[in-house]
Amino acid sequence: KQGRAYDCWLAYRPLENAVADQYRTICKKVAVAGQSAIMESAVDELKRGLKGILGVEPEVLYAKSDTRALFIGSESGVELTADDMHALGDEGFILKTCKDAILIAGKTDRGVLYGTFAFLRCLQVGIKPEDLSRMENPAAGIRMINHWDNLDGSIERGYAGNSIFFRDNQFIADKSRVRDYARLLSSVGINGISINNVNVHARETRLITRELLPEVAELAGIFRNYGISVYLSVNYSSPIELGGLSTADPLDKAVQDWWCKKAAEIYEYIPDLGGFLVKADSEFRPGPFTYGRTHDQGANMLAKALEPFGGIVIWRCFVYNCRQDWRDTKTDRANAAYDHFMPLDGKFMDNVVLQIKNGPMDFQVREPVSPLFGGLTKTNQILELQITQEYTGQQKHVCFLIPQWKEVLDFETWSNGPGSTVKKLVCGKVYPQKHCGFAAVSNIGDNANWTGHVLAQANLYGYGRLTWNPDLSSEAIAEEWIRLTFSNDPEIIGTISDILLKSWLTYEKYTSPLGIGWMINPNHHYGPNVDGYEYSPWGTYHRADWRAIGVDRTVARGTGFAGRYHKPNADMYEDMDKCPEELLLFFHRVAYRHRLKSGKTLIQHIYDTHFEGVEEVEQFREKWLSLEGKIDRERFESVLERLDIQLKDAREWRDVVNSYFYRKSGIPDEKGRTIY
């Protein structure tokens, strides 16, 4: 049932070189200091890895000890110093080598587990024992995955099959796949997972009842062994739907009591539950607005209930009016999250964390960074990214998202002078925060290769690696992933990284130009449809007419969104000449005949990029074909199949978008190519 693609980056392929021999002499014995379920996971993984990579089945010895470490080789010679202990954080690890011994150590068993995975990575890519030594701590405490899985087994915005947790309104009995998923996640440092959709429907509302809690607890047990805490998405109206109350008003005493009792009940089953994830007052979900209350009141009420148990409330900022009138050019969805949450800065309890999508709209191929980053200075916050490719090709198209996320992470907000980048903000390095970090919507399902597109595994991998260390480069992540997943062969690395590293910009080229976004089929969000959302209530418009396109979001003439940023960003976005060109149509309304910095007119830029995008996909396909016979057939064929779909659909995108703008503007392509 499991093909080559199933193991992802934990394939543990034989390494055949001098380095392997060096390790083979060292790795015959493993001494384990400290015992726990997580330490067992580390030992298991080590055995798996050593067997796969070196063909060694080590002898494992246990010593009673308070230390948390795996010693590989002879125990003598490597030990932790006081300096090491001082430098180590709670989840960090140290790898150290001496002549014939390797030490994998942490302050906690989680640290040892992360160190073990790091060691196996080093081994697989062929790093010599003498170059192994390193000390690493994760960048932030919350490194989380969100599942949008429903109990019926479907996944909202899932493109890789059905849920691995649920089927037919039941939990899936066979948990082997969940365990393998936990291994994949913890191998890249993920330590939290919300298992159900943020849109909590009737059946999922019951996850916090005695009927389903034992099953949640079983899942939590599997994840716990890999250092991962489970969270639940909850329905804000639970007191009504489960408790029979007539209201869910956060200031109502009966509602407060109901949640306190409910929390106590939940923690009976899962004493280390991470907490709740809440989508409130958004896209038809209930929330405090129904009762004329604010979001701090709503979140704090839940936070009080979870506080005695150490749980946190992760409250999403994806709040906007999804029933707006398209004729209304004053209301701007981009302003919504900022305008809702900025006035509440500092009003949330310590165990509330705001989860903020990277951009002000919704995971488009290109958006500016949400101005809440750098705006909020007194509130715990985490960055929300979308690994599942809802708007970036739905795992039919290759779209390596790490370069996009790197731009977000490196964005300078100027909130507290220079150095106030998003990554520093969400790692609590600019303003002190009790809880901070990352969340992202998962891209996996029960497909044999997890992600539908084999190359989409790189996005899950890269997300985890960035949450651990947001300073890693896209290039480094791509190379590491390819080495672990496919091979250390330079030709394979070169070819696949080349495809990955270009793929986001290529996708952008043949879909939506210069930050305008959308222009897709409503609901399922795939395929070109320029006016798909233009006359809809969803707040996502391009406003194209015969002369110009784009949304004026300036303070001077438009919706004022540009002014939500700190200077000098606000000035940069306000001024059409200073605005980064890739975001030009997000911030400005621009005539088709306007000349861009390249000297091309806007309309010519649209035509050219759409032709180029398709040509680049053709090149991806050629490049991939050059790998025939060099990687296994199964993965070769499956990626090729996807590239064929991508090419066909990229052509459709190109022709529909170009024809639309040609017909609107009446301006022909300077190069005389076929436009319909």
CB-nearer residue toward ligand GCU: 200 or 499: 200
Q: Say which of 272, 283, 491, 622 is annotated catalytic.
A: 283
Q: Choosing from 7, 45, 281, 390, which is the catalytic residue?
A: 390
* Complex with ligand GCU: residue 124 or 146, whichever CB lies closer: 146
- In degrees, to the nearest 5, what angle opens at C-alpha 423 toward C-alphas 181 and 295? 80
Least distance in Å: CB of 277 to ligand GCU?
10
Site for ligand GCU in 342-371 (CB under 6 A): 362
Catalytic annotation present for 362: yes
- Tell me, what DSSP letter sits at residue 595? B
Burial class of residue 152, CB neighbours in 10 A (0-12, 13-18, 19+): middle
Number of residues that bind ligand GCU (CB under 6 A): 9
157 touches ligand GCU by CB under 6 A: yes
**Smallest distance from ligand GCU to CB 387, Å:** 13
Q: Which is nearer to ligand GCU, 223 or 318 (CB)?
A: 318
Helix axes 253-269, 213-224, angle to 10 degrees: 50
CA distance 318 to 114: 32
For position 178 contacting ligand GCU by CB under 6 A, the verdict is no
Q: Long-range contacts of range 488-494, CB-CB < 8 Å, 24 or more positions apart? A: 488/15, 488/125, 488/126, 489/630, 491/630, 492/627, 492/630, 492/631
| Nearest-angstrom CA–CA distance, 313 and 304 | 9
Residues 6+ apart with CB under 8 A from 268: 213
State yes or no: is 390 an active-site residue.
yes
Tokens of 658: 């170009």
CB distance 241 to 235 below 8 Å: yes
Question: Which are the contacts of 214, defined by CB distance < 8 A and separation ≥ 6?
Answer: 269
Q: Which one of 109, 149, 296, 362 is the catalytic residue?
A: 362
Q: CB of residue 157 vs ligand GCU: minimum separation in angstroms?
A: 5
C-beta of 213 vs 519, nearer to ligand GCU: 519
Q: Judge residue 539's burial from the number of C-beta atoms within 10 Å of its C-beta, 0-12 exposed, 13-18 middle, 19 or more buried.
A: buried
Site for ligand GCU in 424-453 (CB under 6 A): none
The interface with ligand GCU within residues 547-586 (CB under 6 A) comprises none
Compare residues 156 and 575 and give the one whose CB is closer to ligand GCU.
156
Q: Which is nearer to ligand GCU, 533 or 586 (CB)?
A: 533
Residue 9 contacts residue 485 (beta carbons within 8 Å)? yes
- The interface mask with ligand GCU, positions 98-117, x = CB under 6 A, is --------------------
Q: What is the rounded distance in angstroms from the CA atom of residue 571 to the CA atom of residue 565?
A: 9
Asked if 199 touches ligand GCU (CB under 6 A), the answer is: yes
- The Cα–Cα gap between 448 and 634 comes to 11
Whether residue 219 contacts residue 270, with contact meaning beta carbons closer than 8 Å, is answered with no
Per-residue contact string for residues 277-316; x = within reach of ligand GCU by CB under 6 A: --x---x---------------------------------
CB contact set of 646 (below 8 Å; sequence gap of 6+): 393, 396, 397, 398, 617, 620
Min separation Cβ 381 and ligand GCU, Å: 16
Of 198, 426, 454, 606, the one binding ligand GCU by CB under 6 A: 198
Using CB under 6 A, pick the residue from 40, 75, 152, 156 that binds ligand GCU: 156
Using the minimum distance from each CB to ligand GCU, give the nearer residue, 265 or 283.
283
CB of 318 to ligand GCU, least distance (A): 5
Site for ligand GCU in 370-409 (CB under 6 A): 390
Which positions ≥6 away from 666 have C-beta within 8 Å?
546
- 162 vs 485, which CB is nearer to ligand GCU? 162
Interface positions with ligand GCU (CB under 6 A): 156-157, 198-199, 279, 283, 318, 362, 390
Catalytic residues: 283, 362, 390
